Structure 1
Amino acid sequence: MKNPGARQTLSRAVFLVPAGIAMLAGVDAALLLVGVGAPVSAARLADLHGMLMVGGFLGTLIAMERAVALRHPLGYAAPLLLGLGGIVLLTPAPLALGRLLLVEGALAFVAVYAALWRRNHDDVVIVELLGAVHLAIGAVLWLKVGVPWLMPWLVGFVVLTICAERVELARLAMPNTGGRTLVLHASALTMTLVATLVWPDTGARLTGLVIASLVVWLVRHDVARKTIRATGLPRFSAAALLGGYVWLFVAALAWIVGGAQTEGSTYDLVVHSVMLGFAISMVMAHAPVILPAVLRRPLPYRAVMWGPLALMHVGLVMRIIFGDVVGRYPIWQAGSVVNVAALLLFFLVAIGSSVARPPKRQASRARRATRGEAGTGPSGIPFTPSTRRPS
């Protein structure tokens, strides 16, 4: 392979293969958990669903982007260890080995953020670092307790990481005090999560209040409120962002009202409002910008991307509103299957969009992005992939 850019794309893509495997295993486990047919029915797979999706899939994806931003070979230890942890969980090897690899990967992830923060002490990066600490705490707790008991820490990781990412990408639309406000929310969230270890109900209700406050602040200042009236990628991203905020607010309200939950419909509501409604919506919103920066290959926006986004939210309404709230079990099952189909369909669409020839209007932008020149972020904000992280 003579093209250096193609070699770099291939080498980086290799790190994402374990994330893809973890996602496929995670959705297979999801089908087992809701009681419908699944391609693989390994005995312990259903119990691994949460950590496969958060640590093995989302953790590896995000760690890979940060490793690229760090521009140091040691940074790739984080996605490597997280990815290996997810893979080992799926093998006959002792579960403890996979769990320890996830702990090591999360600690390496913290080290990557620490190195990024030392560059210019950015408030956004310190919040992302705190999110990685939450993931590490969750991974350590998993050595001793089940996923439902550590779920608040996994929620903390997802919420702080994605909200900090949103503030960074929409920095020009945020007030000058945006970074400081984000740090205050992150600090408060960490304290309430610590409280859940001692006073579960009180800690969960306080956590819900902090997350609700964070959502209200983000929606108030996010440029997505304006770009929802645009066209093309800005409108698609804005719709995904605003939808994600709605589901995160729903989860916050459930914690405020219901307190700590480790099973039952309210637990299901909180987990999937955050992990699907919020996290996956944000992945869909940011993928056309972030993945090209990581893989150096364009991911052009195409109108077909609206399909999986709409399916995701329809499935969530079926699962959460008609299933968890109203108690219609068959609709809950059907909504869960629709969510799985939406997630798989989005990644098929993304792969197809990346492989196919970019639309003419987007081709020149894609060439500029792969060269590190100024492009446009998911909400129309000027964005330069090579300088997005502190340098």
Structure 2
Amino acid sequence: MNPRVALGGALVACVAASLLAGIAGGLLRVGIALPVAADAPWLTRAALSHAALMMCGFMGTVISIERAVAFKHAGAWLAPLSSGLAALALLADAPQLAALLFVLGSGVFVTVNVLLLRKQPAAHTALLLASAVAWFTGNVLLALGASSTAVLPWWFAFLVVTIAAERLEMTRLMRRRPGAQLALHLVLALLAWGAALSALAPRAGGVLFGAALCALSGWLLAFDIARRTVRAEGLSRYMAVCLLSGYVWLAIAGVAWACTALGLGARDIALHALGLGFIVSMIMGHAPVILPAVTRVKLQWGNFFYLPLAALHLSLIERLAAGSFNFQLRAQGALFNALAIALFAATAVGAALAWRQRHGPRRVTSTRP
């Protein structure tokens, strides 16, 4: 078998296993078990490792794949391969091996980003390196046995700073007010400071981290190009709707994160307004552009992409608003969250098939949007 085909198949399997197990584990955490696997040992492990599977096994591997495609060097593929195998190790009840593989993968990822920054010195590539360092830091803390209070802010910082860097790159030609880019860097520095402080002083660190999330939401709402493209048509408007709605969830997550640090019962809101409301909205918005660039398979745009987006936001409202007062509604909202993600995956597959049927088996030639 062609080594590239074998590697691609292995990575797809790791990504799929991480996502499916992470979702299944998340559902179990709110009392919903899959009937076909209710007694499976891996399901309990998936529930215990829900955050690691979703943020490192799934998102970390996907982002590493995108960066390896951009870097165009065989060694860069060690990062996604390591993080993907780490997810499988978690499911196989080998947490120490998984932690070491996460450290290895994120360490390689930092090296790749250092080399990319040397090749393309720019503000957004510097932020991408900072995000890689955040992921590596969180993984080292995991390997050292640190608590989730110390690890989770670094993992979220990895994803949040990655998104901020991508938005900075995609809007680099926009005119901004003087000091706007400096303000962004200051906000992200506060985010890193909050993550670091969370291990030593969880109350102060959590408040600072939440405040930085709110400030980042304000920056994005003020300066992102989505404010203009929301008045466009077709794919541009869809992406803008995804982005702007995600920025609102980012602000909600920031407030909830600070409230949680102060002892109020807003942990589920903090984690999932950020993880689902913000990050998954960004995935839905960027997927029609990023997926063709990475997989060379083009998607046929259509208004049907709005269906999973609407399902995600409505299910989040049920889970985080109504679910704050009723555990059954919270569990039902979590189930609908999972169905919204499944609907988006089905929509993407359907869009790829529709493009192929309309245009034939031609492939995308560009590597970046």
Q: TM-score, normalised by structure 1?
A: 0.86
The CA deviation at 1:267 is: 1.2
Cα distance change of structure 1 residues 74 and 51 upon mapping to structure 2, 3 Å threshold: same
Q: Which has the higher contact order (CA 8 A, sep 6+)?
A: 1
How do 1:365-384 residues align onto structure 2 when only pairs under 5 Å count? 370-372=364-366
Q: CA deviation at 1:352?
A: 2.1
Q: Is the 8 Å Cα contact of residues 51 and 147 (structure 1) preserved in structure 2?
A: no
Alignment of structure 1 residues 159-198 onto 2, 5 Å: 159-173=160-174, 175=176, 178-198=180-200
8 Å contact kept, 1:124–1:179 = no
Q: Is contact 2:134-2:155 (8 Å) kept?
A: yes
Where do residues 27-46 of structure 1 align in structure 2 (5 Å cutoff)? 27-38=23-34, 39-41=36-38, 42=41, 43-46=44-47
- Distance change >3 Å, CA 246–CA 9, structure 1 → 2: farther
Q: Measure the CA separation in 1 of the matches of 2:9 and 2:32.
A: 32
C-alpha distance in structure 2 between counterparts of 1:181 and 1:40, whole Å: 49
Change (3 A) 1:323 1:149: farther
Cα distance in 2 for residues equivalent to 1:183 and 1:322: 36
Tell me the C-alpha RMSD between the 2 structures: 2.5
* Distance apart, 1:305 and its partner CA: 1.4
Task: Measure, in 2, the Cα distance between the counterparts of 1:125 and 1:280.
Answer: 22
Change in Cα spacing, 1:265 to 1:351, as seen in structure 2 (3 Å) is farther
- Report what 1:329 is aligned to: 327
How far off is 1:61 after superposition? 0.6
Query: Aligned ranges for residues 90-129 of structure 1 at < 5 Å?
Result: 90-92=91-93, 94-129=94-129
Please state how far the C-alpha of 1:345 moved relative to its aligned partner. 1.3
Counterpart of 2:193, as a letter, is M
**Aligned residue number for residue 377 of structure 1:** none
Shift of 1:287: 0.4
1:174 Cα deviation from its structure 2 partner: 5.2
**Which amino acid counterpart does residue 151 of structure 2 have in structure 1?**
L
1: CA distance, partners of 2:147 / 2:22? 16
Structure 2: distance between partners of 1:255 and 1:295: 35
Q: Quote the residue 1:77 is aligned against.
A: 78
- Residue 37 of structure 1 aligns with an amino acid whose one-letter code is A
8 A Cα contact 1:167 1:174, kept in partner: no
Deviation readout 1:105-145 (Å, 9 max, x if unpaired):
11111111111111132111111111111111211222203
1:115–1:178 Cα change, 3 Å = farther
Matched, 1:319 2:319: yes
Query: How far is 1:255 from its partner?
Result: 2.6
User: Retained in 1: the 8 A contact 2:14–2:84?
Assistant: yes
Q: 2:346 maps to which residue?
A: 348
How far the C-alpha of 1:212 sits from its partner, in A, is 1.3
| 8 A Cα contact 2:298 2:355, kept in partner | no
Distance in 1 between the 2:282 and 2:175 partners? 18
Please list every run of at least 4 consecutive aligned residues from structure 1 whose deviation after the TM superposition is greater than 6 angstroms: 7-10
Query: Aligned-pair distance for 1:209?
Result: 1.6
Q: In the aligned structure 2, how far is the partner of 1:190 from the partner of 1:242?
A: 23
1:17 matches 2:13: yes
Residue 67 of structure 1 and its aligned partner are, at CA, apart by 0.6
Alpha-carbon distance, 1:259 to partner: 2.1
Which amino acid is 2:37 matched to? Answer: V
- The amino acid across from 1:332 in the alignment is R
Q: Across the two proteins, how many residue pairs are aligned to each other?
A: 362
- Whether the 8 Å CA contact 2:46–2:53 is kept in 1: the answer is no
Residues 12, 294 of structure 1: 8 Å contact kept:
no
1:268-307 to structure 2, matched below 5 A, reads: 268-307=268-307
Listed one character per residue, the Cα deviations across residues 151-187 of structure 1 (whole Å, up to 9, x for unaligned) are 1111111111111111112222252755444333222
- Corresponding letter in the other structure for 1:18: C
Offset from partner CA, 1:48-68 (integer Å, 9 cap, x none): 111000000010111100111
Q: Give the conservation status (yes or no) of the 8 Å contact 2:149–2:198.
A: no
Does the 8 Å contact 2:299/2:355 carry over to 1? no
> Which amino acid is the alignment partner of residue 110 of structure 2?
V
Once residues 132 and 80 of structure 1 are traced to their aligned partners in structure 2, the CA distance between those partners, rounded to angstroms, is 16
**What are structure 2's unaligned runs of at least 5 residues?**
none
Cα distance change of structure 1 residues 174 and 136 upon mapping to structure 2, 3 Å threshold: farther
Instruction: Report the secondary structure of 1:301's partner residue.
Output: coil
What amino acid sits opposite 2:14 in the alignment?
P
**Cα distance change on mapping 1:235 and 1:188 into 2, 3 Å:** same
Does structure 1 conserve the Cα–Cα contact (< 8 Å) formed by 2:247 and 2:278? Answer: yes
Amino acid at match of 1:341: L
Whole-angstrom distance in 1 between the partners of 2:188 and 2:13: 31
CA distance in 2, matches of 1:288, 1:64: 16
- Cα distance change on mapping 1:244 and 1:359 into 2, 3 Å: farther
1:205 aligns with 2:207: yes
Q: Distance in 1 between matches of 2:310 and 2:265?
A: 23
Q: What is the one-letter code of the residue matched to 1:102?
A: F
Q: Match for 1:223 among 207, 222, 225?
A: 225
**What is the distance in 2 between the residues matched to 1:358 and 1:282?**
25
Letter in 2 for 1:370: V
Contact 2:246 2:282 in 1 (8 A): yes
Please point out which of 240, 243, 259 is paired with 1:241. Answer: 243
Tell me if structure 2 keeps the 8 A contact 1:174–1:221. no
